Structure 1
Amino acid sequence: MYRFLLTPRWWGINVFVVLAIPFCVFMGSWQLSRFEERMDTHRSATEEPTTDRTGAARPLTELLPVDKETSGERATATGEYAEQFLVPDRPLDERPGAYVLTLLRTDDGRALPVVRGWLPGTADTARAPAPPAGEVTVTGALQASETPGSNGVPALSGLPAGQTGAISSASLVNLVPYEIFDAWITLDEGDSGMRAVPATAAADTGLDLKAFQNLGYTGEWFVFAGFVVFMWFRLLRREVESVRDARMGLGDAPEGDPGEQRREPAPAATR
């Protein structure tokens, strides 16, 4: 009854099933490992401190560009303070306030945004302490440029002079006539009596849309593997039923299986 499994058509079906199932299982396992990796990264970012305030600081240029590995690392840079801005709508410990952001002009002409501290209440440039004059060396936690509207950064527009909605080179380059580093630092200790702004976790730390996409793809690949098995058994059952019907004289045997073909009755003898 099962000799049809040796026909060329079923050889092709069987080879496809034997290759498809391991492939689907492998892809599902890989997507699951990606999800677990993102979860571990997120767990590490939330359970461990975002920066080691006691570790040795490294020169800024050694930590650029900022990624998940260097975000939160202590960086140091030397230069002179220039333009200063307030970054409004930045609460700290559930209290409203603003960041005091000052640009540090380095020797190569570029400027590094430095968050010198946090001021409570409504953003008011008159209340922001003036930066120190002359050459200074700053040390703090390195952060990647912000993107308005994501990662908790408010998408502010129409701000008064002396304020900026995001700490990013894209926003600041429109306010000053020189190049801005695509990064910023928050000082270890608040300047001029201000509170220090804690470093934030790096963006894309795992628990985001991509993580749940990996989990969804995991389920899809395992469903595909189950579907292949289901269809193989369904085709097998139909083929077996076709062979059984042919033996009972209810139909033709499957093509390519002459041993199971129904014999035609001999014609009646004529006188």
Structure 2
Amino acid sequence: MQHRFLLQPRWVAFHVLVLVAVPVCAALGLWQFQRYNEHNKDSGGSGATAVSAEPAVELARQLEGGSTVTTRDRGRNVLVEGRYDAAHQLIVPGREVDGRDGSYVLTPLRPAGEPELWLLVARGWVAGTPDPGAVPVPIGDVRVTGRLELSETEHGSGIDRIPGLPPGRISIINTPELVNVLPYRLYDGYVALTAQEPADAAGLVPVPPAKTQKSGGISGRAWQNLGYTAQWFVFAGASVFLWWRVVRREIEERQEAEEARALRALGLEPAS
């Protein structure tokens, strides 16, 4: 048989390599396309967080034992018990509610039974820019009900940083950036307070759902994932083309060698 050489061990190994490479490249391409859809969905934005109408659940249950608020968790209502840390309360100026300029009051909460991770709670809005110590903090155990929000970023929220802020004031609620501001580890994300037991005596205005910046197009990260998608499918196609080209070349060389042998058998010299 003309193509019997394809069953030789080294050729079988080559076939298997290509058969493995093609689905692997295709799977990676599909994964990158899924990531593209996720990032593109996030970059499009909906204007504001969609607030869930479902009943509040325990924080650990919503986050499934993790420590990061994801897009799946955003807007969900959670319950958490613990104690506030008044000494490290923060003020977030430049926040507008109902056309009035003011600040968010951000207070760390240590969840009950959690020895390491603390949770940032946006307890509410207050007019002006008060000193962090001027807003009273509940003492003792509290039971907080609130809406999960993602850590803010300049690109995702459209919030501009305020330069030259004194200690105790921050421009955006970005928990990874607070590693050098607060003396403990934090959940990545925060809770916007909607109810508390006992009631908060500070009389703060509830924080409105966080807005997301509409990019009007595909984000840079989404473009990157789309590029990787194309790259992996090109690799899959290139693997098939390489297999076809190598096999075709081997067949042609074997045919030329066979023709040369036939000519020599007739006493003729093959054409060079």
Answer with 1 or 2: which has the greater Rg: 1
**Deviation (angstroms), 1:187:** 0.8
Q: TM-score, normalised on structure 1?
A: 0.61
For each residue in 1:34-64, what CA deviation from the matched residue of structure 2 results, as whole angstroms up to 9, or x when unmatched?
A: 5236626875996796442551342569845
RMSD of the TM alignment (CA)? 4.9
Q: 1:179 corresponds to which residue?
A: 184
Could you list the runs of 5+ residues in structure 2 that have no partner in the other structure? 213-217
Structure that is richer in strand per residue: 2
- Within 5 A, what are the aligned runs for 1:224-239? 224-235=235-246
On the 8 A contact 1:87/1:165 being kept in 2, the answer is yes
Change (3 A) 1:175 1:224: closer
Q: 1:131 corresponds to which residue?
A: 136
**Deviation (angstroms), 1:165:** 3.6
Q: 1:167 corresponds to which residue?
A: 173
- Within 5 A, what are the aligned runs for 1:135-214? 135=140, 136-143=142-149, 146=151, 151-152=156-157, 158-167=164-173, 172=178, 174-175=180-181, 179=184, 181-183=186-188, 184-188=190-194, 192-199=203-210, 212-214=223-225
Residue from 222, 229, 233 that aligns with 1:218: 229
Q: 2:120 corresponds to which residue?
A: 113
The 2-side partners of 1:239 and 1:174 are apart by 64
The 1-side partners of 2:97 and 2:22 are apart by 48
Q: 1:88 corresponds to which residue?
A: 93
Say whether 1:58 aligns with 2:58.
Answer: yes
Secondary structure of 1:39's match?
A: helix
For each residue in 1:158-215, what CA deviation from the matched residue of structure 2 results, as whole angstroms up to 9, or x when unmatched?
A: 4213312443566556556x535435311126962524232578xxxxx866654443
Change (3 A) 1:35 1:92: farther
Secondary structure of 2:79's match?
A: strand
The 2-side partners of 1:181 and 1:127 are apart by 19
Could you list the runs of 5+ residues in structure 1 that have no partner in the other structure? 202-206, 245-252
**Deviation (angstroms), 1:117:** 2.0
Secondary structure of 2:229's match?
A: helix
Change (3 A) 1:81 1:8: closer
For each residue in 1:86-129, what CA deviation from the matched residue of structure 2 results, as whole angstroms up to 9, or x when unmatched?
A: 11345668986532213346667875422122356xx6225997
2:86 aligned partner, one-letter code = A
The 1-side partners of 2:49 and 2:35 are apart by 19
1:100 aligned partner, one-letter code = V
1:167 aligned partner, one-letter code = I
The 2-side partners of 1:65 and 1:188 are apart by 21
